[in-house]
Amino acid sequence: MKTPKEIIESYSGRSMRIMEVCGTHTHEIFRCGIRKILPPQVELISGPGCPVCVTPPGYIDSAVELALKHNCMICTFGDLIRVPGSQLSLAGARSQGAKIKAVYTPLDAVEIAAANPQEEVVFLAVGFETTVPSACLAVKHAQMQNLRNFSILGSNKTMPNAYRALGKCADAFLYPGHVHTIIGSGICRELLADGISGVVAGFQADELLTALAVILHHAEAGDEPFFENCYRRIAKDTGNPAAVKLIEEFMTPCDAEWRGLGVIPGSGLKINKTYENFDARCKFNVPECSGTPHAGCRCGEILKGILKPQECPLFGKVCTPVNPVGACMVSHEGSCSAYYQYGR
């Protein structure tokens, strides 16, 4: 019997464009050298899987406004601090006196609010289904403590409609195991009706090799569309009911803007009306704005697989991980950053 590596190396079927939609997958595939064993007709596209990469400049502009105009203390995951907005990043705002704090979890921000009642603390809630439950938990804790000085600025994204929007960009998705641990793998089976193929994958080298081998096995057999869950030990069909219940209690689906991809209908979550006193946009009357990315940044084309990062004229010259021009170069899991670290 062939090993997954042997199945991949001996693949002789049609050309396949496989899209990863998870920054950890992108990073691990590079780190483990998996790209080097792919046959020439198999292309991996690093799609929109890094939360930082898909956060639009208008969202950063709103966070900067809260920090500089409303004097809020902004608590955020560290990567977001260097993401460029239209004019300023949060790091730039900090150099103008803004209070910007890196935290590890949204609950850290709740603790900071409780310890500093004189400060208005705003947590920047970005990311996919994997981080939403912890943002909901933060709101729940703030409510239990009757904190009036805590709110969240939301830009959470959900994957199912993004798969539909990106379906034509790839022949198959490497579905992110952690997202489907929360929402279940059943949704991937539903996507078959839209002609969308993919395999749910774990995060270790052997799990990634297995998932890629399964995709190529189906492609070689001419199956279309196809779906397999190769992360069954964690991602169940129905997901994590407790996490889903928490999301449904605190969040409502909405349209969402993805950096470089535009608005994808029904691909976001916003805090629901019952808890809107914890919604920083309502509390400080900060409307959504579209923002302006750097004119030369090609993040959108890269996330759709139209361009490779090194085909962006700014890659590695003007835009580097130390001096990122676009969001895809900020986080070490971003598409451009991963190519910069491993692919040059």
Closer to ligand SF4 at the Cβ: 152 or 325? 325
Give yes or no for residue 259 binding ligand SF4 (CB under 6 A).
no
Binding segment (CB under 6 A) for ligand SF4, from list 89-97, 223-231, 267-275, 293-301: 293-301
CA distances (Å), origin 228, targets 28, 216, 232: 21, 12, 9
Closer to ligand SF4 at the Cβ: 98 or 328? 328
User: Which run of H or of E encompasses 152?
Assistant: strand 150-157
User: In terms of Cα–Cα distance, which of 181, 291, 196, 279 is closest to 237?
Assistant: 181
Closer to ligand SF4 at the Cβ: 166 or 196? 166
Among 64, 80, 235, 302, binds ligand SF4 (CB under 6 A): 302
- Please give the structure tokens belonging to residue 157: 């994204």
What is the C-alpha separation between 329 and 298, in angstroms, rounded? Answer: 11
Give yes or no for residue 326 binding ligand SF4 (CB under 6 A).
yes
Residue whose Cβ sits closest to ligand SF4: 326
Give yes or no for residue 319 binding ligand SF4 (CB under 6 A).
yes
Give yes or no for residue 54 binding ligand SF4 (CB under 6 A).
no
User: Which run of H or of E encompasses 178?
Assistant: helix 177-183
Report whether 107 contacts 138 (CB < 8 A). Answer: yes
Binding segment (CB under 6 A) for ligand SF4, from list 156-164, 179-187, 275-283, 309-317: 309-317
314: left (phi over 0), alpha (psi -120 to 50) or beta: alpha
Query: Which CB contacts under 8 angstroms, 24+ apart, belong to 95-98?
Result: 96/68, 97/68, 98/64, 98/67, 98/68, 98/74
Closer to ligand SF4 at the Cβ: 102 or 318? 318
Among 149, 328, 333, 338, binds ligand SF4 (CB under 6 A): 328
Closer to ligand SF4 at the Cβ: 45 or 314? 314
What is the C-alpha separation between 109 and 124, in angstroms, rounded? Answer: 10
Give yes or no for residue 329 binding ligand SF4 (CB under 6 A).
yes
Binding site for ligand SF4 (CB under 6 A): 297-299, 302, 309, 312, 314-315, 319, 325-326, 328-329, 336
